[in-house]
Structure 1
Amino acid sequence: MNNSDDYIRIVEWSDEDQCYIGRSPGLFLGGVHGDDEHQVYRDLVNAIKETVASELAEGHTLPAPTAGRQYSGKFNLRVGPELHELLSLRAAGVSESLNSYVVNSLERVVQDN
Structure 2
Amino acid sequence: MAIKSDRYTYRITWSEEDKEYVGLCVEFPGLSWLDESPESALKGIREVVEDVIKDIKKNGASPPQPFSRKNFSGKFVVRIPPEVHRSLTMQAEEEGISLNRLVSAKLSQQ
Deviation at 1:2, TM superposition (A): 4.3
Within 1, Cα distance between the matches of 2:19 and 2:102? 37
Within 2, Cα distance between the matches of 1:34 and 1:67? 26
The residue number in structure 2 matching 1:31 is 32
What's the TM-score once normalised by structure 2's chain length? Answer: 0.78
The residue number in structure 1 matching 2:23 is 22
The residue number in structure 2 matching 1:10 is 11
Tell me, what secondary structure is at the counterpart of 2:46? helix
How far does the alpha carbon of each residue in 1:61-109 deviate from its partner, in whole angstroms, 9 at most, with x for none? 323333332322221112121111111011122222111111111112x
What's the TM-score once normalised by structure 1's chain length? Answer: 0.76
- Kept in 2, the 8 Å contact 1:4–1:48? The answer is no
Q: CA RMSD in A?
A: 2.4
- Compare the two structures and name the one with the higher strand fraction: 2
Return 5+ residue gaps in structure 1 as ranges: none
Within 1, Cα distance between the matches of 2:46 and 2:68? 13
Q: How does 1:50-65 map to 2 (within 5 A)?
A: 50-65=51-66
The aligned amino acid for 2:4 is: S
- Kept in 1, the 8 Å contact 2:13–2:23? The answer is yes
Q: How many residues align?
A: 109
Deviation at 1:32, TM superposition (A): 1.1
